[in-house]
Amino acid sequence: MRVMVTGGAGFIGSALVRHLVTNPVQGREHCVLNIDKLTYAGNPASLHSVSGRGNYRFMQADICDRAAMERAFAQFRPDRVMHLAAESHVDRSITGASDFMATNVMGTFTLLDVARDYWQRLPAPERDRFRFLHVSTDEVYGSLGPQGLFAETTPYDPSSPYSASKAASDHLVKAWHRTYGLPVVVSNCSNNYGPYHFPEKLIPLTIINALEGRRLPVYGRGENVRDWLYVEDHVRALDCIAAHGRPGETYNVGGRNERRNIDVVRRICLILDAMAPAASPRESLIEFVADRPGHDARYAIDATKLESGLGWRAQETFETGIARTVRWYIDNEWWWRPLRNRYEGERLGLLQEAA
Ligand code: NAD
């Protein structure tokens, strides 16, 4: 299986690449091409464990660059494309949306159009096997009230420039299926957390700030609810959906782990106090800051279609996954310290929240 991954130097993409490169299917290795522009969010250090492997290749390129994408398809000849490259941080999309439109909308269009051209020329057996998995977010559905869950049939209602750009890309992908027959599958996942997560997002920012005794900024009163999924559970879901999902279908991915932001931050403080005791409890570092404009109140996923249709189940509970994550940040300062130094400053303290 020859798998082209876009955005494979990012948080979820690097977990996916590590998974594919080291997990053969029926005794046969995946051959993986990772295409990544290496924006601020792309980090080759996240791939240190696989970078020397014979079944892994890297190409630094922008998915908006049509000629580069045509070259990549022609030379690598993928059986499967797993498209994760994106601008992913909501706060950045609010202060400057143009990169989000370029990569998430035009980049997805470019990749789709090159993939269609490539797929139409494939001989029959390879043509039937080809899949294009588009990795998206539950944020396209907008905000829930206190009750209810997002299903695959929930109407799109995005709130932020980020989620609007992802919604646009989802529509493009589905149109390329209906109009041209391209065998696409779409996944919409809830908030991820885990190792190698860029330290501007809520969970890694909280862990690192708490380790350093800095303030722990929380938007509003911390009442917003997110449905957290451990990144390795997401990666197994993506592999499963790409292999067994029906072309043209959407699958929601989530672990039934709804938590208020304030409870997530408090939990991290308690775990850290136990694993790396400090002079005073870390909860005293929590500081409420002005809320994000257009901040969605609650996200929660109904993953029944994926669970009963394709047999996927989340393996980590929030309690086990968050403890593993905190331990990882304690043990892997070599990874986050250079990022921390590069993005030091007030802005880093204020940017928070998962994508
Ligand atoms: P990330 O920001 O950590 O990584 C994005 C990667 O894409 C980076 O390596 C970056 O260099 C690369 N990239 C950006 N623009 C590019 C371009 N023009 N060409 C090539 N590469 C480019 O993001 P993530 O959190 O790993 O998210 C990956 C995907 O999963 C995104 O599509 C995101 O919308 C989706 N998603 C994320 C979450 C989450 O909680 N993080 C949840 C659901 C879905």
- The verdict on residue 52 lying in a domain is yes
Structural domain contains residue 40? yes
Q: How far is the CA of 125 from the centre of ligand 1 (A)?
A: 31
Ligand 1 centroid vs 265 CA: distance in angstroms? 24
User: Which pTM was predicted?
Assistant: 0.96
Query: Closest Cα to atom 28, ligand 1: which residue?
Result: 84
- Provide the domain count of the chain: 1
Q: Which of 4, 12, 353 to mutate to test the pocket of ligand 1 (most atoms within 8 A of CB)?
A: 12
Give dist(CA 74, CA 114) in Å, integer: 10
Domain with residue 185: its CATH number is 3.40.50.720
Helix residue ranges, H only, 53-155: 66-76, 90-95, 98-100, 108-120, 124-129
For residue 54, the enclosing domain spans 2-193+230-257+300-315
ipTM above 0.85, yes or no: yes
Residue nearest atom 14 in ligand 1 by C-alpha distance:
86
Residues annotated as catalytic are 138-139, 162
Are 2 and 10 within 8 A, CB to CB? Answer: no
What spacing in Å lies between the alpha carbon of 165 and ligand 1's midpoint? 13
Residue pair 282/273 in contact (Cβ under 8 Å)? The answer is yes
Report yes or no on 37 lying in a domain: yes
For residues 266 and 207, give the distance between their C-alpha atoms in angstroms, rounded to a whole number: 11
The answer to whether residue 155 sits within a structural domain is: yes
Phi, psi for residue 83 in degrees, rounded to 5: -100, 105
* Ligand 1 atom with the shortest distance to the CA of 36: 21
Residue 88 lies in a domain: yes
Ligand 1 atom closest to the Cα of residue 38 is 11
Interval between CA 284 and ligand 1 midpoint (Å)? 33
Q: What is the pLDDT along the chain (355 residues), one digit of tens a residue?
A: 999 999 999 999 999 999 999 998 878 899 999 999 999 999 999 999 999 999 999 999 999 999 999 999 999 999 999 999 999 999 999 999 999 999 999 999 999 999 999 999 999 999 999 999 999 999 999 999 999 999 999 999 999 999 999 999 999 999 999 999 999 999 999 999 999 999 989 999 999 999 999 999 999 999 999 999 999 999 999 999 999 999 999 999 999 999 999 999 999 999 999 999 999 999 999 999 998 898 999 999 999 999 999 999 999 999 999 999 999 999 999 999 999 888 765 454 444 544 4
